[in-house]
Amino acid sequence: MLVDTKEMFKKAYEGGYAVGAFNVNNMEIIQGIMEACNELNAPVILQISKGAREYAHPLYLTKLIEAAIEQYPHIPVAMHLDHGPDFELAKASVDDGYSSVMIDASHDPYEDNVRRTKEVVDYAHSKGVVVEAELGQLIGEQFDAGEGGAMGEGIYTDPDQAVEFVERTDCDSLAVAIGTSHGAYKFTKGEPQLDFERLEKITEKLPNFPLVLHGASTVIPEFVALCNEYGGDLPNAKGVPEDMISRAAKLGVCKVNIDTDLRLAMTGTIRKELVDNPSNFDPRKYLGPARTAIKDMVKHKLEILGNVNRI
């Protein structure tokens, strides 16, 4: 069933777990995710980025998710716009039937972020749709934050500013920057480290308010190795350790975004199938195993998040 994230996050907050938010681009990814959620009785967020909408066309992705909901009517599913860059795309997604949208104006000056977020919130709420916003800036390469909160090109979320931001925008959830980053190379400067002290402060100042962790793929080593073994070039790829994700889920983080791990699982499996069976030209013969790899990886993620038997 299609739902928004309000009840989903309320249960996650009270239960000390996080809901997996998985980026989708095609049928096999959606099927693999839904099969995993069905087997583990897990609610799920299927999220669509601007790039995914451009790649697959919004109508196809919407209809694929509708088909998944019809096949598994007992699974709570939120259809979410990931990293919406502007009001126009957020509005289009609301009008397309999404139950949740994100406006990411985090790289704008603070007042502009507030203004642009509030504009989306006002429209989305008028249509019964919830809004995720972002405060602080994630980057693709991680640096030590230091006392001032700067991390190279990014900025850690300020706890006091987070309170003001939520009050002024009326957003329903907030993505925070505590040391995660996008891509397969999250920690190129030393050992993985997240600012849990900062996260605890934000949670204390925003009690019962759902927080979101972006850039939190664990970059599972077996899939990195699989990609590299069959012609890939991902040396020293490193993600967020699983124990850190589990800890964040107990500190107010109700939603964890996962995209890179999906890409690695699918790409590595397809590479292997094509190398092992070079005469094959039937897409079903390599997309089928890739779908299974997605399912198995998502099941593993749901365990890490504590998002099992939550329906």
Q: 194-248, pLDDT tens digit by residue?
A: 899 999 999 999 999 999 999 877 787 888 888 888 888 888 777 788 999 999 9
Q: pLDDT for 271-296, tens place per residue?
A: 999 999 999 999 999 999 999 999 99
Across the chain, what does the average pLDDT equal?
A: 91
Q: How many CB atoms lie within 10 A of CB 285?
A: 12
Read off the pLDDT of each residue in 17-23 and give the average, rounded to a whole number. 97
Report the relative pairing of strands 154-155 and 150-151 from DSSP bridges.
antiparallel
* pLDDT at residue 148 in the model: 35
Average pLDDT over residues 85-95: 98
Q: Which of 82, 104, 195, 261 is catalytic?
A: 82
Kindly state the tokens that stand for 92.
């289009």
Residue bearing the bigger pLDDT, 187 or 113: 113
Look at residue 140 and tell me whether its pLDDT is greater than 60: no
Q: Write the secondary structure of 155-172 as one string of H (helix), E (strand) and C (coil).
A: ECCCHHHHHHHHHHHCCC
- Only one residue has tokens 């073994």, namely 229
DSSP string, 33-78: HHHHHHHHT--EEEEEEHHHHHHH-HHHHHHHHHHHHHH-TTS-EE
Asked if 82 is an active-site residue, the reply is yes
Cα(first)–Cα(last) distance of the chain, in Å? 12
Residues 29-67 pLDDT 10s: 999 999 999 999 999 999 999 999 999 999 999 999 999
Query: Has residue 149 got a pLDDT over 50?
Result: no
Domains of the chain: 6-305 (3.20.20.70)
Cα dihedral across residues 9, 16, 45, 174: positive or negative? positive
Q: What per-residue confidence (pLDDT) applies to 234?
A: 83
- In angstroms, the CA 171 to CA 88 distance is 17
Q: Using the predicted structure, report yes or no on whether residue 150 has a pLDDT greater than 70.
A: no
pLDDT at 153: 47
pLDDT over 70, % of the chain:
91
Maximum pairwise Cα distance, the chain: 60
pLDDT at 186: 55
For residue 130, name the pLDDT band (cuts at 50, 70, 90).
very high
Output the pLDDT for position 195. 92
Backbone angles phi, psi at 249, to 5 degrees: -65, -20
Q: What pTM does this model have?
A: 0.92
- Exposure letters 183-213 (e unless 16+ CB within 10 A, then b): bbbbbeeeeebbbeebbebbbeebeebbbbb
Mean pLDDT for 95-101 is 98
Amino acid (one-letter) located at 178: I
Residues 304, 69 contacting (CB under 8 angstroms)? no
